[in-house]
Amino acid sequence: MVYFMYLSWKVGILLKHRKNFHSIEHTGRDRKMFTVAGPISADVLKEKSFDEGLQSFRKPEQQHKALIDVAGLEESRIIAAFDDDTVVGYAVYLYPDEMERWSQYRFEDLLELGAIEVSNDYRGHNLAKTILKVSMMDDSVEDYIIITTEYYWHWDLRRTKLSIWEYRDVMEKVMNTGGLQWYATDDPEISSHPANCLMARIGKRVPTESIHEFDRVRFRNRYMI
């Protein structure tokens, strides 16, 4: 799920949100060349076109504006794939939305992969995996717990013609590229269907106090741990 305008208060561990830019050239299908780079600033996003196939969450022009707004948040990270000067895919990392359980995490070192999208016209180039790889090239990600919540009702089952479990397998392999692994939780929305899942990557420098806090939020009913 994507929520773009949440500003959170956090206590305890204070974190300076360092962002180190990385860029790679990616060769897709039929030797098509792309640039995958980030974190991308709001000023850069304003200068780029936004592909019309990026419409999973809202109309492309509205999503483009939303990404520009998010890029201005201190904690946010946007990694994008470019075909020349056109954004054809992206991932967004930011604090969880206040309506989600994960916003109850009390420190500043948890980010959510709130969206990853590749234009319908650019599927098959392995852009999602490459975007995740570039996301994790910045050493500062080792200071964060990065999560993503996956719900089967958001998956493009009709277009891909995959079953729920086939799509889940593909999704897990893509997330594994960025080092995200399955984690158990008693969150009711995730637990409502066995294909839904929580995935996370815990950075090497994340303190024990933060890991304990993550466990507290994952399990509201402590007897399930």
In the chain the domains, ranked by start, together with CATH numbers, are 22-224 (3.40.630.30)
Q: Looking at residue 11, what is its pLDDT?
A: 47
51-94 tens-digit pLDDT? 999 988 889 999 999 999 999 999 999 999 999 999 999 999 99
Which of the four pLDDT bands, split at 50, 70 and 90, describes residue 122?
A: very high
Share above pLDDT 70 across residues of the chain, in percent, rounded to a whole number: 92
pTM score, two decimals?
A: 0.88
Q: Looking at residue 39, what is its pLDDT?
A: 96
Query: What string of DSSP letters covers the chain?
Result: -----------SS--------EEEEEE-GGG-EEEEEESPPHHHHHHSEE-TT--SSS-HHHHHHHHHHHHTSTT-EEEEEEETTEEEEEEEEEPPPTTSGGGG--SS-EEEEEEEEE-GGGTTS-HHHHHHHHHTTSGGGGG-EEEEEE-GGGS-HHHH---HHHHHHHHHHHHHHTT-EEE----HHHHTSTT-EEEEEE-TT--HHHHHHHHHHH-SSGGG-
Mean pLDDT of 188-214: 96
10-59 tens-digit pLDDT? 544 456 889 999 999 999 999 999 999 999 999 999 999 999 999 888 89
